């Protein structure tokens, strides 16, 4: 089976109904998060997230009104926003999903790219109407990559918090630093600052748990071994890396999860460094969806850790690329037993 033969489509109603934690995080809870004893911020983050979930009212009440997102008339209530900031591999998504599980229904959970796609698919007014019916909106991988996203999300979160929706988010970047190094963020400083005022920040520090005390990832296999593995594992996929990159360009990133649904093992032939940043960012989104669904990855060519050039790793998307490398390395390690 080839991923390049799949063209998933997701209807508007399904976009809303699918706003739940992905399979990897469907069963997580605060009790299953194991704080690193050397990193006190992790235990504190569990307490902060739990307290935030408990503040969300189980019964509908009078919805508060806040003003002044663009200046004038007061400030937003930061207690309605929780922002988990920290490096990759410290369990922020685990904590976000646990917060979602602990909160009363109705509630919604999605990645930042899924949220912006939802607005594009439904239209702003309809997206606000649908999302305002929820008590909590949890947003994973919160990033502002361009000015359009900045204006859109600022307005969206203003509307939702004004409607009484609590918002929790994760990111590798503090809210007042969003967009830094990616576009002329100083031109949108007012909007970014007003957005950051909606959140109380909880810091989560620590090393990458995905690789703590584990052996190095396995090296790439040769093409013959790759084909043999694909043939031996029913339902698995086998794609040329360049062809897959072209296919990803033809799909909205919000569809990448559906692209790999039900695939037990992904095989990539001829992996090499991304030729440019557009391809690299699509690969980041693809890696995130693979990780969400715990789909192992076996590759030939260069190591998966070589997907992003040194120049890319020194730019404004450094944290995104490092997160993708961390997740792909874990998935490559998961694929190793399947080949033996």
Q: Residue 73: its pLDDT value, please?
A: 33
Q: Residue 146: its pLDDT value, please?
A: 59
Kindly indicate the confidence band of residue 83, based on its pLDDT and cuts at 50, 70 and 90.
confident
Say what percent of the chain tops pLDDT 90: 36
In whole angstroms, what is the distance from residue 263 CA to residue 268 CA?
Answer: 13
In whole angstroms, what is the distance from residue 65 CA to residue 159 CA?
Answer: 10
In whole angstroms, what is the distance from residue 197 CA to residue 162 CA?
Answer: 13
Q: What is the pLDDT of residues 41-74, one digit of tens each?
A: 999 999 999 999 999 988 755 444 443 333 333 3
Task: Check pLDDT > 80 for residue 309.
Answer: yes
Q: What number does CATH give the domain 210-339?
A: 3.40.50
Tell me if 12-207 shares its fold with 210-339: yes
Q: What are the sequence ranges of the domains in the chain? A: 12-207, 210-339
Paired tokens of 261: 């649904």
Tell me the three state secondary structure of residue 328: helix
144-170: average pLDDT: 80
Average pLDDT over the chain reads: 81
Kindly indicate the confidence band of residue 228, based on its pLDDT and cuts at 50, 70 and 90.
very high
12-207: CATH homologous superfamily? P-loop containing nucleotide triphosphate hydrolases (3.40.50.300)
- Concatenate the DSSP letters of all residues of 46-91 into one string: HHHHHHHHHHS-SS--PPP----TTSSS----GGGEEEEEE-TTSS
Task: Check pLDDT > 60 for residue 190.
Answer: no
Q: Residue 115: its pLDDT value, please?
A: 84
Q: Residue 169: its pLDDT value, please?
A: 86
In whole angstroms, what is the distance from residue 73 CA to residue 249 CA?
Answer: 44
Task: Check pLDDT > 60 for residue 25.
Answer: yes
Q: Residue 330: its pLDDT value, please?
A: 86
Kindly indicate the confidence band of residue 338, based on its pLDDT and cuts at 50, 70 and 90.
low
Alpha carbon separation from 240 to 270, 272, 292, 337 (Å, rounded): 6, 11, 22, 22
Q: Other CB atoms closer than 10 Å to residue 8's CB: what's the count?
A: 14
DSSP summary character for residue 302: S
Paired tokens of 185: 């963020």
Kindly indicate the confidence band of residue 270, based on its pLDDT and cuts at 50, 70 and 90.
very high
């Amino acid at each position: 089976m080839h991923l390049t033969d799949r063209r998933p489509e997701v209807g508007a109603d399904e976009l809303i109904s699918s706003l739940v934690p992905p399979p990897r995080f469907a069963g997580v809870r605060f009790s299953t998060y194991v704080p690193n004893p050397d990193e006190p911020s992790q235990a504190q983050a569990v307490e902060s997230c739990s307290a935030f979930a408990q503040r969300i009212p189980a019964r509908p009440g009078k919805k508060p009104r806040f003003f002044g997102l663009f200046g004038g008339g007061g400030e937003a209530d930061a207690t309605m926003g929780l922002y988990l900031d920290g490096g990759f591999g410290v369990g922020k998504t685990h904590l976000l999903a646990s917060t979602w599980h602990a909160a009363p229904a109705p509630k919604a959970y999605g990645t930042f790219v899924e949220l912006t796609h939802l607005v594009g698919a439904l239209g702003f007014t309809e997206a606000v109407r649908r999302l305002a019916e929820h008590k909590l909106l949890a947003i994973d991988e919160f990033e502002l990559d361009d000015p359009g996203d900045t204006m859109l999300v600022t307005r969206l979160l203003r509307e939702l918090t004004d409607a009484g929706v609590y918002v929790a988010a994760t990111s590798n970047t503090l809210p007042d630093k969003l967009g830094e190094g990616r576009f002329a963020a100083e031109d949108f400083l007012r909007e970014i600052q007003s957005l950051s005022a909606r959140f109380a920040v909880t810091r989560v520090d620590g090393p990458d748990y995905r690789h703590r005390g584990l052996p190095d990832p396995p090296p790439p296999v040769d093409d013959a071994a790759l084909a043999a593995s694909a043939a031996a594992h029913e339902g698995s996929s086998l794609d040329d890396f360049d062809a897959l990159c072209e296919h990803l360009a033809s799909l909205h990133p919000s569809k990448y999860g559906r692209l790999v649904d039900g695939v037990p093992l992904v095989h990539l032939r001829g992996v090499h460094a991304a030729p440019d940043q557009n391809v690299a960012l699509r690969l980041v989104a693809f890696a995130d969806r693979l990780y969400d669904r715990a789909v192992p990855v076996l590759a030939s060519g260069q190591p998966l850790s070589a997907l992003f050039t040194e120049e890319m790793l020194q730019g404004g998307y450094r944290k995104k690329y490092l997160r993708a490398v961390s997740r792909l390395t874990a998935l490559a390690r998961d694929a190793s037993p399947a080949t033996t």
